Structure 1
């Protein structure tokens, strides 16, 4: 027996025979149809032509929406089911991927780009290296944006050295993070990734020299020969740094100690040159019995962490004392990253403090920063360093081309 029930009134609409409003006469009825024979349940069905027309068109669309809904619900499950890349021990990877006293936690030496990205969320011996430079990038970006809101970098030429410096302290940790992320795609990509890492660090040394030359230079050295040629020499130092550090990777397997010495010297030489004015200021202050300013105190903290950074880079401690114990957390390269970032923070504070406190004196006695000596010097140095990286990368890219090995073997025959 069919059961009908009135559900709700219907809107007459404008132009109906009676007054505009709700009507109970042309009502929507509900009838119950038997559902599954096994369960004996009944399914409600609307007995109304317009509603049935909607249902006929809507059922397919409703079914499509439900399928999409199931896919959306299943998407997080699929993400959770992603298989993280497999990790290997030191004897399972080629020599070029091995790190001193790091025994386990190596990624596949032929990883895809997606595997490299996923590995940054998986605990391996590069995870902390990636994040200890990726997160500080956003801190320095935040500080840079805060300075942009208070300084006129576009029209005030006195701020251009600080602009160059802030750009480079945002670039070098991000480049390092990318290098550590994608360095396991192949032996050639590993070298090229670190070529860009070295280039970013050499440009950072140029940024230090530009900011030091205009803001940190001792009073008695202002307008001296060294002051006038400080940025030009720093450009040469950046090219030396990139060239020597890139070359050191080609002799790393045959002569590891020589490679380490070349790479260390490549970064020590620009650092010593850049900080000579700062060393002189510190010696004059402490030996002369002067009171260190806030800027000089920040610079001294920077020097302390810079020496710690150099020590960690060369000593490979603490993993050398207990190989395998610090593979994932606590090895020297992670500490090296942290020390470098903290040192850069104190350096930034010192540069900003010197820039603000010495402005009146420097604008009166020193040369006004020029576009060529700041942004122009950065642009020229970027182009030259990219050319150096391209020269060192070209043979690796040629070697990685499909069929190049077969062509080389055929020529030898």
Structure 2
């Protein structure tokens, strides 16, 4: 027998055991079932599989491109955020001051290395012409320019809600502490979206009566702040208070009935009244249906396990939220267009 084998064999065995041991200790980041979840993640007992648990932030981020039971929850609101970001940019370009600034910068960038003095003079003359046109437009117009900040407040609130929701669903699998923090961020986003949704209709309908602007916008803001403060309580972020959270959000939405009726009376003779009412009614219907799906957990309640990846209640809730926001966006455009020709 070769004596060298007697020496090398234990060494090779130790190396093999070390490799096996290290491979066994390496995390696999596999999806698990509802029964394997820690208690804080057991939110919906009708979704049985495809959960992520204790994933590092890097793995959680790249799970954006994997199939699990949160994939469509993330993407429905992430695509909604991109959609509203595009709408915001499109509306910003329509603002004369912004469009003039964009035109200046786009003309200022050289398209090749052959820029000469005549082209520089052309850029300067174009800037002067654009500035002159804007000044003439503002001075010659007899109609006061429409204040657009309430419209952009609504768009900003919608984007914050949709983005915070996507972040929550993507990274809440990391740890218990981060999950609670992201849930509060998600609830804050929902509340912010509801508050900011009031700004365009209330501001533009009662533009000639600032008293009612202050009462209604102040009222919904105070109610929203109370909701946010309440949601910061760790106990109220648990599944036990799901119904209570839905009640708070619903009460904020129902607050809109009062200014809604008031606005209908004030603008009863407005020829665009029926259009705005149709948009706002659609928004209310989408939000109410979304709340019902959120609370009832239909359809997975009737077929547990069938809708783990696609079609469960929270995904439907997300789609209805985006549709409701789009309906309100349509109503806000009508309000803006109406105010362009009807100042106080």
On whether the aligned pair clears a TM of 0.5, the verdict is yes
Rounded to whole Å, the distance in 2 between the matches of 1:234 and 1:317 is: 30
TM-fit CA distance, 1:166 = 1.3
Are 1:268 and 2:250 an aligned pair? yes
Structure 1 residues 276, 90: closer, same or farther in 2, change over 3 A? same
Structure 1 residues 224, 160: closer, same or farther in 2, change over 3 A? closer
Structure 1 residues 126, 228: closer, same or farther in 2, change over 3 A? same
Structure 1 residues 243, 138: closer, same or farther in 2, change over 3 A? same
Structure 1 residues 280, 153: closer, same or farther in 2, change over 3 A? farther
Q: Which has the higher contact order (CA 8 A, sep 6+)?
A: 2
Aligned length: 271
Are 1:242 and 2:187 an aligned pair? no
Match of 1:105 in 2: 50
Counterparts of residues 146-165 of structure 1 (less than 5 Å): 146-152=90-96, 158-165=147-154
Rounded to whole Å, the distance in 1 between the matches of 2:198 and 2:28 is: 43
Match of 2:79 in 1: 135
* Matched-pair contact (CA < 8 Å) for 1:240–1:266: no
Rounded to whole Å, the distance in 2 between the matches of 1:250 and 1:143 is: 37
For structure 1, the residue ranges without an aligned partner over 5 or more in a row are 1-82, 365-413
For structure 2, the residue ranges without an aligned partner over 5 or more in a row are 1-26, 99-137, 139-144
Match of 1:187 in 2: 176
Moved more, 238-247 or 136-145: 238-247
**TM-score using structure 2 length:** 0.71
Structure 1 residues 224, 215: closer, same or farther in 2, change over 3 A? closer
* Matched-pair contact (CA < 8 Å) for 1:206–1:234: yes
Rounded to whole Å, the distance in 1 between the matches of 2:261 and 2:215 is: 18
Name the one with the larger strand percent: 1
TM-fit CA distance, 1:262 = 2.0
Rounded to whole Å, the distance in 1 between the matches of 2:91 and 2:62 is: 34
Name the one with the larger helix percent: 2
Structure 1 residues 283, 123: closer, same or farther in 2, change over 3 A? farther
* Matched-pair contact (CA < 8 Å) for 2:230–2:236: no
Rounded to whole Å, the distance in 2 between the matches of 1:300 and 1:252 is: 30
Match of 1:228 among 214, 226, 238: 214
Rounded to whole Å, the distance in 2 between the matches of 1:213 and 1:284 is: 12
TM-fit CA distance, 1:358 = 3.4
Rounded to whole Å, the distance in 2 between the matches of 1:209 and 1:277 is: 9
SS in 2 for 1:158: coil
Structure 1 residues 245, 275: closer, same or farther in 2, change over 3 A? farther
